[in-house]
């Protein structure tokens, strides 16, 4: 069996490793900036269709949630009425730098699978054959989970949270009016979408923690009830609407993600017990 010691590429000096890492980082950066430059010139699609999509009444999530509410018998509870959007800018350069930031962020998301591929290529020489085979699935699995999380954040978490917050009133007097800024809107959609993508990498994190012996499936099963409580709290915070149905739309996928992570941890423990 080939291992890291038998592989000449795994016996490089420290400086050679740094040089190899540098080129992996350079190629990753080229991929990110290539996507960013392309998307920069498609600003109408990037902003009018994608970024400002949740500001339109015919956004697919609003239609789907409303139809789902009627289907499960709760009427129009999950239907949302979107306010006419007016996003203010407070400086002359804000729109230009927002354009650059969103193009770069979108480039990072589009290039994420390739960046993971470069990471795998860097660590591959140090892996045994028995470790290299499952590691090949790392790029595909991590990319799929990240993109699912991005879609979950964009199509569910952000629209539900934003519409609750933008319509929230301290009192019925109407004295306080919410005049949303472009910077606030961009920050909210960026953070919620990226955080969702990172959260959906939980099975990958559990995989590595189990491989290191830090986490076990028994531990995760024993503390499942505490995890459920934490998930419900997170769902209540992420979707501040008092409607329980909306909170369940967020909580159920997160709980399923936790159960998948338990399965992943159990699989790793089982594989570790088998001889190489």
Quote the pLDDT of residue 2.
43
Taking the C-alpha atoms of residue 33 and residue 179, their distance in angstroms, rounded to an integer, is 33
The segments of the chain whose pLDDT lies below 70 read 1-14, 17, 126-136, 238-243, 246, 274-276
| Backbone angles phi and psi of 24, in degrees to 5 | -65, -40
Tokens 């996507």: give the residue.
35
Triad 211, 215, 217: Cα angle to 5°: 100
Quote the pLDDT of residue 94.
93
CB 107 within 8 A of CB 39: yes
Quote the pLDDT of residue 99.
96
Quote the pLDDT of residue 219.
92
| Residue 276 CB-density burial (10 A; 0-12 exposed, 13-18 middle, 19+ buried) | exposed
CA 17 to chain centroid: 30
Quote the pLDDT of residue 170.
82
Quote the pLDDT of residue 131.
59
Quote the pLDDT of residue 242.
64
Quote the pLDDT of residue 263.
92
What is the rounded radius of gyration, in angstroms, for the C-alpha atoms of the chain? Answer: 23
């Amino acid at each position: 069996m080939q291992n890291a010691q038998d592989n000449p590429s795994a016996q490089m000096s420290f400086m050679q490793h740094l040089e190899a890492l540098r080129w992996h980082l350079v190629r990753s950066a080229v991929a990110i900036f290539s996507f960013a430059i392309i998307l920069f010139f498609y600003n109408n699609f990037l902003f009018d269709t994608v970024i400002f999509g949740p500001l339109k009444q015919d956004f697919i999530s609003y239609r789907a949630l409303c139809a789902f509410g009627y289907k499960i018998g709760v009427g129009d509870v999950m239907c949302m009425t979107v306010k006419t959007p007016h996003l203010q800018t407070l400086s002359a350069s804000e729109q230009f730098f927002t354009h650059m930031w969103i193009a770069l962020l979108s480039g990072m998301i589009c290039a994420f699978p390739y960046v993971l591929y470069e990471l795998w290529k860097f660590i591959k020489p140090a892996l045994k054959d028995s470790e290299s085979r499952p590691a090949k699935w790392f790029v595909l699995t991590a990319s799929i989970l990240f993109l699912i999380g991005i879609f979950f954040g964009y199509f569910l978490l952000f629209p539900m949270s934003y519409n609750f917050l933008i319509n929230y009133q301290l009192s019925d007097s109407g004295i306080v009016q919410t005049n949303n800024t472009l910077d606030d809107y961009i920050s909210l959609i960026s953070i919620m979408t990226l955080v969702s993508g990172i959260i959906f990498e939980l099975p990958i994190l559990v995989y590595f923690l189990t491989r290191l012996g830090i986490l076990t499936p028994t531990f995760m099963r024993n503390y499942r009830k505490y995890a459920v409580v934490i998930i419900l709290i997170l769902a209540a915070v992420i979707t501040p609407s008092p409607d329980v149905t909306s909170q369940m739309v967020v909580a159920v996928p997160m709980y399923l993600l936790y159960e998948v992570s338990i399965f992943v941890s159990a699989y790793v423990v089982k594989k570790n017990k088998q001889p190489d």
